[in-house]
Amino acid sequence: MKKPVARVAQLHELLHDHSHRYYVLDNPSISDAEYDDMFRELQSLEAQFPDLQTPDSPTQRVGAPPLDGFDSVQHAIPMLSLGNAFSQDELNEFDRRVRERLEREGDEVIYVAEPKLDGLAISLRYEHGVFVQGATRGDGRSGENVTENLRTIEMIPLKLRTASPPAVFEARGEVFMSHDAFKSLNASMQASGKPAFVNPRNAAAGSLRQLDSRKTAQRRLSINLYGLGEVIGMDLPPTQMDALHLLAAYGFPVNNDIQRCDGIEACFDFYQTMGQRRPELGYDIDGVVFKVDSISEQRELGFVSRAPRWAIAQKFPAEEAQTLIESVEFQVGRTGALTPVARLQPVFVGGVTVSNATLHNMDEIERKDIRVGDTVIVRRAGDVIPEVARVVKYKRKHGARKIKLPQHCPVCGNPVQIREGEVKARCTGGLRCAAQVREAIKHFASRRAMDIDGLGDKLVEQLADAELINSVADLYTLDVEAVKAMPRMGEISANNLIKAIDTSRRTTLARFLFGLGIRDIGESGAALLASHFGSLEAVMAADESALTSIDDIGPIAADSVQTFFANADNRAVVDALLAAGVEFPTTETMQVGTLLSGNTYVLTGTLTVFTRDQAKQKLQLLGAKVSGSVSGKTTAVFAGDSPGSKVTKAESLGVPVLDEAALLELIGPVE
Ligand code: D41
């Protein structure tokens, strides 16, 4: 057996190496399970010998406590900005100036061509090979200290891959979000009723700005490095291409499409090729960057007003077009959010005809000073909804009208409200707003809520179109005849649906509360309310202090609960549901909050008798807390098959680890 010190060092080496192979080279050589085993071994050694836990340990990516704000960081060497070229002429002009200054009018300059990633510029600082600080570019002189957030990006090495690191090494690059990561992030934002990000760049910026690095860790950010900042204790590479190779050798991800181009013609070819390949890259680029390859030539050229004379960005033509705003309407979404949408004179932008464009919210309208009748620039970026980029002010006519937020919902007439600290206006109509009701019914019927088998989104739309359902309560008035009249509905499916609706009457208070679709109350919030209050009446009667006395229910969620039940329409729907026979078994309310209150459990691994969700619900019903992470406060960990690192953590903290049989004994089988 190796000494712990030696084994920890060896595990660092192995884990760094394998995570580099996996995330940077995209070429793993061991299985995830083997990786996890080593990771757990390291965690348990670190738990045994806390002195051996260092900031560059692979276990230290996530877990730093949330911050109150970001400190400002002075860049040792300013992060320069980039000049732009918008045409081939401007690019040729750049090349001419470079050759003139270098007194090389006769020959071609060697450039390096790089895709221009559409993200956020950042700097990563390593001291003696260890990652010590990460910062945003900010204004170029100083940015924000986002070290803990950057640390969670697996592509970033916590340690340089070299035996003899320089005293200081600063790498610079761009943090961005792939289209895949962006789509799945927005899907989950929308699923939990939060506004989606407008584009991957905003999503990347928002993710890097999280005060709680654990949130950043869930965001799947990417990074590419393209330059050096302060370097002390080693010779600088002689060319940009060498610098990129050095970055790659040190373990950093470097963009695959970077190319050396001899002369400006080759640069222009690169620009055109990248323009064509742009849709299939899987991430946004907004142009290409050309840099003089030779560092000594870069020095000779120097910079003017913070932009180097030796580099230029050639931007892709924006997919923009001019048109007229004919009117503005407010669309009502699932949570009642009102989104102003401009109806446009149809215009061709980036390959499609656009006749609607989002104005996002009232703040954006104000900021851009958009009015009805204005001539505007419409922008389309990738597969994002078209937006109004700006107003062509000199074309503004006398009659241009300011856009006013309606006081009442355009669909249901209930008052519109903007909550303090929020930008989105919302319809307060809740379950009685026709626009919200369809989404509400879909949510009510969904698997994790009332679990009505066979009632999919499409059928909800059809039933609502036929005006058979105007609220969730109407579901319980449906009969076979009515359902059978829907397109492609047979006798059997109709019968099955009615049966499924009938079955859903017997539910749990947690599912019912979740199914109501109260803002800010997700599945676990609903379970907490149910187990804490035990009855619907008690939840409806709860005041702010009663609600916020529950761990994990903050003032915003508490306000949402009160606002929901204060609405007479919502209360009428709840009454109608109860009158239709929706009920919660008494066993639930009797046991709640007593048997296991004060205990906190962690579930890990695959369970066989029930799913982890079922076990979690049951534990919560019995008054226990169920947490995602093991700490000294954990009562016990229940581990199913192939459990993760939580078991090691529990063992190192002396928290009991029990099996599924013990869990079954504690909470009984699922009914
Ligand atoms: O991909 C990029 N967004 C990118 C940005 C790049 N590939 N190279 C860059 N090079 C520079 C200089 C030449 C000044 C070192 C840049 C940027 N700057 C840059 N990004 C944001 C501001 C400047």
Name which residue sits closest to atom 14 of ligand 1, judged by CA.
80
Instruction: Tell me the angle at which helices 179-191 and 200-208 cross, rounded to the nearest 10 degrees.
Output: 70
Task: Name the residue with the closest Cα to ligand 1, atom 21.
Answer: 121
Which of 289, 297, 309, 314 most suits a substitution to test ligand 1, by most atoms within 8 Å of the C-beta?
Answer: 289
CA–CA dist 518, 529 (Å, integer): 12
pLDDT for residue 382 is more than 60: no
Q: Please name which of 544, 506, 553, 548 lies closest in space to residue 526, comparing C-alpha atoms.
A: 553
Q: Output the residue whose Cα is nearest ligand 1's atom 5.
A: 116
Three-state DSSP state, 101: helix
Which residue has a Cα nearest atom 19 of ligand 1? 81
What is the C-alpha to C-alpha distance for residues 189 and 184, in angstroms, rounded to an integer? 9
Whether the per-residue pLDDT at 526 is higher than 60: the answer is yes
* For ligand 1, atom 22: residue with the closest CA: 81
Q: Which residues contact 651 (CB under 8 A, 6 or more apart)?
A: 44, 657
Q: What is the pLDDT of residue 117?
A: 96
Distance 154 CA to ligand 1 centre (A): 22
Tell which atom from ligand 1 comes closest to the C-alpha of 307. Answer: 14
* Ligand 1 atom at shortest distance from the alpha carbon of 172: 15
CA nearest neighbour of 27 among 258, 314, 310, 256: 256
* Distance of CA 61 from the midpoint of ligand 1 (Å): 26
Segment 488-511 shows an average pLDDT of 93
Lowest mean pLDDT among 214-223, 356-365, 625-634: 625-634
CB-hemisphere CA count at 13 Å for 635?
13
State the chain's mean pLDDT as an integer.
Answer: 90
3-state DSSP assignment of residue 437: helix
Beta strand pairing status for 636-639 and 600-604? parallel
Token pair in block for residue 301? 């050229």
C-alpha–C-alpha distance, residues 166 and 162, integer Å? 9
Q: Point out the ligand 1 atom lying closest to the alpha carbon of residue 224.
A: 1
Residue closest by Cα to atom 7 of ligand 1: 116
Q: How many CB atoms lie within 10 A of CB 88?
A: 14
Task: Output the pLDDT for position 593.
Answer: 56
Average pLDDT of the segment spanning 448-458: 91
Average pLDDT value for residue range 447-455: 92
Give the mutation target among 84, 137, 176, 226 for probing the ligand 1 site: most ligand atoms within 8 A of CB. Answer: 226
Q: What is the mean pLDDT of residues 486-505?
A: 93
Segment 328-339 shows an average pLDDT of: 88
Helix (H, G, I), strand (E, B) or coil at 366: helix
- What pLDDT is stored for residue 588 in this prediction? 44
pLDDT at 587: 43
Q: Which pLDDT score, from 0 to 100, does residue 348 have? A: 77
The model's pLDDT over 549-586, given as tens digits with 9 standing for 90+, comes to: 887 788 989 999 999 999 888 899 999 999 999 998 75
- For residue 2, which amino acid is it? K
The whole-angstrom separation of Cα 322 and Cα 386 is: 12
* 119 CA closest ligand 1 atom index: 3
Place of tokens 């390959």: 351
From the alpha carbon of 79, which atom of ligand 1 is closest?
A: 14
Q: Spell 247-271 as b/e; 16+ CB within 10 A means b.
A: beebbbbbbeebbebeebebbbebb
- Which residue's entry shows tokens 């970001």? 70
80 CA: nearest ligand 1 atom = 14
User: Could you give the CA distance from residue 339 to residue 307 in angstroms, rounded to a whole number?
Assistant: 39
Quote the ligand 1 centre to 135 CA distance (angstroms). Answer: 15
pLDDT at 591: 44
What lines the ligand 1 site, CB under 6 Å?
80-82, 114, 116-117, 121, 137, 174, 226-227, 289, 291, 308, 311
> Cα angle at 643 between 637 and 647, to 5 degrees?
45
Q: What mean pLDDT comes out for the span 518-529?
A: 88
- How far, in Å, is the centroid of ligand 1 from the Cα of 122? 10
- Report the percentage of the chain scoring pLDDT > 90: 62
**Residue 80 and residue 308 in contact, taking contact as beta carbons nearer than 8 Å:** yes
**What are 279-321's pLDDT values in tens digits?**
789 999 989 999 999 999 999 999 887 889 999 999 887 678 8
Task: Give the model's pLDDT for residue 351.
Answer: 57
Secondary-structure breakdown of the chain: helix, strand, coil percentages, each rounded to the nearest 5: 40, 20, 40
Sorted by sequence, the CB contacts under 8 Å of residue 421 that are 6+ apart come out as: none
- 330-334, 349-353, 428-432, 602-606: range with highest mean pLDDT: 602-606
Nearest C-alpha neighbor of 619 from the set 597, 646, 651, 641? 597
At 377, the pLDDT band (50, 70, 90 cuts) reads very high
CA 116 to ligand 1 centroid distance, Å: 7
Q: Hey, which of 174, 274, 298, 301 would you mutate to test ligand 1's pocket, going by the most ligand atoms within 8 Å of its Cβ?
A: 174
Ligand 1 centroid vs 180 CA: distance in angstroms?
Answer: 24
Between the CA of 586 and the centroid of ligand 1 the distance, in Å, is 64
Ligand 1 centre to CA of 57 (Å) is 30
Q: What is d(CA 45, CA 41) in angstroms, rounded to the nearest whole number? A: 6
For residues 443-452, give the mean pLDDT: 92
Q: What is the 3-state secondary structure (H, E, C) of 14-58?
A: HHHHHHHHHHHCCCCCCCHHHHHHHHHHHHHHHHHCHHHCCCCCH
Cα Dmax for the chain: 90
Q: What mean pLDDT comes out for the span 482-511?
A: 93
What pLDDT does 384 receive? 63
List all residues 6 or more positions away from 250 whose beta carbon is below 8 Å from its beta carbon. 157, 160, 161, 162, 169, 171
Residue for token pair 């930008």: 423
Question: How far does the centroid of ligand 1 lie from the alpha carbon of residue 225, in Å?
Answer: 10
**Higher-confidence position of 590 and 396:** 396
Phi, then psi, of 108 in degrees rounded to 5: -80, 145
- Ligand 1 atom nearest residue 311's Cα: 13
Average pLDDT, integer, range 83-109 = 92
pLDDT > 50? residue 590 = no
pLDDT of residue 20 exceeding 60: yes
Calculate how far, in angstroms, residue 172's C-alpha sits from the geometric centre of ligand 1.
Answer: 9
Rounded-to-integer distance, Cα 99 and Cα 434, Å? 66
Catalytic residue (choose from 2, 3, 116, 442): 116
Say which range, 180-189, 494-503, 560-569, has the weakest mean pLDDT.
180-189
Reported as a pLDDT band with limits 50, 70 and 90, residue 589 is very low
pLDDT digits (tens, 9 = 90+) for 62-82: 878 888 889 999 999 999 999
Percent of the chain scoring above 70 in pLDDT? 97
Segment holding 315, helix H or strand E: strand 311-315
116 tagged catalytic = yes
At 131, phi and psi to the nearest 5? -65, 120
Going by C-alpha positions, the residue among 330, 318, 320, 326 that lies closest to residue 388 is 320
**C-alpha 113 to ligand 1 mean position (Å):** 11
Rg of the chain, C-alpha, whole Å: 29
Distance between CA atoms of residues 38 and 32, nearest Å: 10
The best mutation among 75, 81, 82 to test binding of ligand 1, ranked by most ligand atoms within 8 Å of the C-beta, falls on 82
Q: How many CB atoms lie within 10 A of CB 389?
A: 15
**Confidence band, pLDDT 50/70/90 cuts, at residue 640:** confident
The number of the ligand 1 atom at minimal distance from the alpha carbon of 310 is 13
Ligand 1, residue 291: give the atom nearest the CA. Answer: 13
Q: Of 369, 339, 341, 375, whose CA–CA distance to 356 is shortest?
A: 341
Range ranked top by mean pLDDT from 54-63, 114-123, 421-430: 114-123
Asked whether the whole model's pTM tops 0.75, one would answer no
